[in-house]
Structure 1
Amino acid sequence: MNLSRRAVLGAALGSLAATAGGCARPVDPATGGGSATKTLNIGLIWTRTGDALTVAESTRYEQGLRIGLSWVTNRINKVGVRTIKTVKVDDKGDPAVAAAAAEDLVRRGCHVLVGGFTTPVALRLARVASSRKVLFIPSMATADELTGINRYTFRDGPSTTQLLMAARAYLKPGGRLAVLAADQATAVKAAAVLGAATTIVAPASTKDFAAVGKRIKAARAGQIYVDWPVAAPRLWEAIPAGVEPITVLGARATWPSYGAAAGSLRFVTAYADAATTNMATQTLKGSVPNRRLDTGHAEGFTASQMIVRAFQLGPQKADDMIPALEGLEFGGIKTGLSIRPGDHLLLNPLWGGHLTWTGASGAITAVTDRAFLPPETTPPL
């Protein structure tokens, strides 16, 4: 099969071959490493019941994955003569359900697992991948604990630290920063990376947002970094006037919850619609509802590129897939991607911007006004 330029969309395949050549030998491209009757199985463990936002995110990720697999394989969904098959299972947002599903998928011949749309689920799946020796690509889970957790786990998006390092660009020199988070560990981590003077912890179940607003005001900060796991309009309304909020942009469905704060909000994100324009972007936009791309689309597309490359060099077992991905340099929806061999962190560009209202209906739109390249956001190994 001729994967041509779409196989990795800009990858330096020559240098990659030099990097991985001593560890794994490419399979016969005419056979895909086996007979045509043996499929190359991907186990997608996604959320179809439970939290509505997680369901929506997993839907967009599946779209990016499916469209990406078609694009990377020149629309035939094959590596050599072997067909790529995606087997989907609902994890119901439950780590135990996800782990049981992963075990079943491995027994059914899946050498690659993707999924884990929350940190607890992703961490549980990473343990299954390590014990069963299958490749695992966590989806939309940014927890730093996943970086380097084992040799079988590879990221397809940024970590929390990478996002925080991008957020530092919005800090005002000499200004006072506070961090608001739903738990102490998150608050401490963000404060350490951002250099915040004050941390404010309010559980996600908080209802008394007026009290939260008073605590923000008492901090006498000019800026506040908000790490909030749920869409809570009253939280944003409680931020005192004159305090500039900074956050990681949530999925499109959460944007209305920012309310009046949207006017002063500065965000960082792994991807936002129109952040890039290329052939991959055009293909993806033309195949998703309303032609609007979100973070999930970009990460699903990236995962598809990684999976096809893994199948090219190691269709039979994950231990052969690992050297195919370590050190891989490629591009797609997002350009300039590479996988750090030491911990499988994905070095990838991030974006910053603001929200605005457009059109007669006053629709909220994310406008990216700056890009952060990997040297600016990559933590030391």
Structure 2
Amino acid sequence: MRVTKKLLLGSVVAAAALVLSACAPSPDAAGGAAEPGAEGPAEVTVGVITSETGPLAGYGKQYLEGFRAGLDYATDGTNEVDGTALVIEYRDDAGDPDTAVTIAKELIGEGVNILAGSASSGVALALAEQAAQNQVLFLSGPAAADAVTGINEYTFRTGRQSAQDVATAGTFLDDIEGKKITVFAQNNAFGQGNEAAVSAILGAQGAEVDSVLVAEDVTEFTPFAQQVIAGSPDLVFVAWAGATSGAMWQAMSQQGVLDAIPVVTGLGDAATFGAYGEASEKISFLNHYFAGGPDNEVNAAMIERVEADGGTPDLFTPDGFTAALMLVQAVREGAGDVDAMIAALEGYSFGGPKGPTTVRASDHALLQEMYQVKLVAADGALVPELVDTAPADAVAPAEAG
């Protein structure tokens, strides 16, 4: 049962002196929650914390382009929800959890009770902890670690998670009983989350799962590719993100992994397409999003708005767009009150860029369709082409908790 938080009307000054992890923000600072029964506040400030610099800056850019487009779409260009102005504070975490926590504490101390963003899974987990400690709403972004789902009542996903990637990979496979699957991934929250998901999902179908996990600062991947070969798996599931993708795939190709063993991986953003090179024809791609995947009016509207602002829709654009849709729903129904905003989002079903989308009430997973994709040559470049769509219920993650 959720504990209802009392509004701190007469103790703003005293509350400011409390340790952040031990108190909720003052409700009337930065346009916070209105009193029960009152009209919504004049404004609500939202802290968007994501990577504008650092190794995941490209993902942060996609998210922010989608968020701005989604906010324009959901508010008809007004940045207002039923008379409440949405004030957005954009902050760069550089992909560092400690930086993100420092920023979050500053914003919460100023009275902000809605946070959004996080391209990095490590950042998302750290911000989710802050959300619970300070009783603020957190709309987590592209970060895919499964541990974010169900971590607490204050945290909601606005993108997919690793379990949905793995379940989509399973739609490529037949008869995996007794087969050996090696997870090749970075040794971080994202990679570990994928390893756990493969073990839980494909392992439950009878596969033997092991892993080769590589430190994030590694730039020479030959010995790790050789380790994969030496293990003689029946299938390799690759979970990789960031600037080292090209070097990793080159090593996997040069060491013969792609010729010797079936490989399935997630199709990254457009910047990575060329990195696959000739290997693209040997890889089975699961996909979270590309512009030609969904066929619906919301996706078309998102593409139009992003392109009008000079951007290009990409892998994590819908995560930002969806975050804006969920933010507007939360403020419209909850008027800035955290408990009311949580209630407004739990079970919320809506038309998103990827079609029918649902916030699962029990653990705040975001249920959405996924895609099977291949890369094809067109005008001298590799472009994604839709092979099949996996319905949301077919790739839904197991309920957390």
Question: By the TM > 0.5 criterion, same fold?
Answer: yes
Correspondence list, 1:263-302, <5 A: 263-289=281-307, 292-302=312-322
Letter in 1 for 2:45: N
Correspondence list, 1:12-31, <5 A: none
Distance 1:76 1:180 in 2: 46
**Contact 2:259 2:282 (8 Å CA) reproduced:** no
5+ long unaligned stretches in structure 1: 1-26
1:193: which partner in 2? 201
1:248-272, Cα deviation, whole Å (9 max, x unpaired): 2222212222222111211112211
2:113: which partner in 1? 111
1:156-192, Cα deviation, whole Å (9 max, x unpaired): 1112112111111112435654332334945454244
- In the superposition, relative to structure 1, how do residues 133 and 210 fare at CA in structure 2: closer, same or farther (>3 Å)? closer
- In the superposition, relative to structure 1, how do residues 258 and 145 fare at CA in structure 2: closer, same or farther (>3 Å)? same
**Contact 1:187 1:201 (8 Å CA) reproduced:** no
1:4: which partner in 2? none
5+ long unaligned stretches in structure 2: 1-32
TM-score under structure 2 length normalisation: 0.80
| 1:33 paired to 2:49 | no
1:255: which partner in 2? 273
Residue from 328, 335, 357 that aligns with 2:355: 335
**Contact 2:235 2:261 (8 Å CA) reproduced:** yes
**Contact 2:65 2:311 (8 Å CA) reproduced:** no
Give the secondary-structure state (helix, strand or coil) at the position aligned to 1:316: coil
| 1:218 paired to 2:230 | yes
1:173: which partner in 2? 175
2:382: which partner in 1? 364
Q: How many residues align?
A: 347
Correspondence list, 1:1-381, <5 A: 33-34=39-40, 38-51=42-55, 54-173=56-175, 177-183=181-187, 185=192, 186-187=194-195, 189-195=197-203, 196-197=207-208, 199-204=210-215, 205-206=217-218, 209-229=221-241, 230-231=244-245, 232=247, 233-237=249-253, 238=255, 239-289=257-307, 292-359=312-379, 362-381=380-399
Distance 2:101 2:220 in 1: 36
Distance 2:284 2:258 in 1: 16
Distance 1:355 1:151 in 2: 39
Give the secondary-structure state (helix, strand or coil) at the position aligned to 2:171: helix
Give the secondary-structure state (helix, strand or coil) at the position aligned to 1:163: helix
Distance 2:230 2:51 in 1: 40
Segment drifting more, 268-277 vs 286-295 = 286-295
TM-score under structure 1 length normalisation: 0.84
Dislocated runs of 4+, deviation >6 Å: none
Segment drifting more, 175-184 vs 264-273 = 175-184
Distance 1:172 1:351 in 2: 17
Distance 2:234 2:332 in 1: 52
Distance 1:247 1:88 in 2: 32
- In the superposition, relative to structure 1, how do residues 240 and 213 fare at CA in structure 2: closer, same or farther (>3 Å)? farther
- In the superposition, relative to structure 1, how do residues 172 and 96 fare at CA in structure 2: closer, same or farther (>3 Å)? same
Letter in 1 for 2:182: A
- Cα RMSD between the aligned structures? 2.5
Letter in 1 for 2:347: G
Deviation at residue 280 of structure 1 after TM alignment: 2.1
- In the superposition, relative to structure 1, how do residues 188 and 69 fare at CA in structure 2: closer, same or farther (>3 Å)? closer
**Contact 1:273 1:366 (8 Å CA) reproduced:** no
**Contact 1:79 1:312 (8 Å CA) reproduced:** yes
**Contact 1:273 1:292 (8 Å CA) reproduced:** no
Give the secondary-structure state (helix, strand or coil) at the position aligned to 1:380: coil
1:60-100, Cα deviation, whole Å (9 max, x unpaired): 11111111111111222211222112111111222111111
1:6: which partner in 2? none
Give the secondary-structure state (helix, strand or coil) at the position aligned to 1:321: helix
Q: Percent identity?
A: 29
Letter in 2 for 1:307: L
**Contact 1:216 1:240 (8 Å CA) reproduced:** no
Distance 1:240 1:363 in 2: 21
- In the superposition, relative to structure 1, how do residues 280 and 188 fare at CA in structure 2: closer, same or farther (>3 Å)? closer
- In the superposition, relative to structure 1, how do residues 95 and 280 fare at CA in structure 2: closer, same or farther (>3 Å)? same
Deviation at residue 33 of structure 1 after TM alignment: 3.1
Distance 1:32 1:283 in 2: 34
- In the superposition, relative to structure 1, how do residues 92 and 176 fare at CA in structure 2: closer, same or farther (>3 Å)? closer
Distance 1:133 1:40 in 2: 16
Greater relative contact order (CA < 8 Å, ≥ 6 in sequence): 1
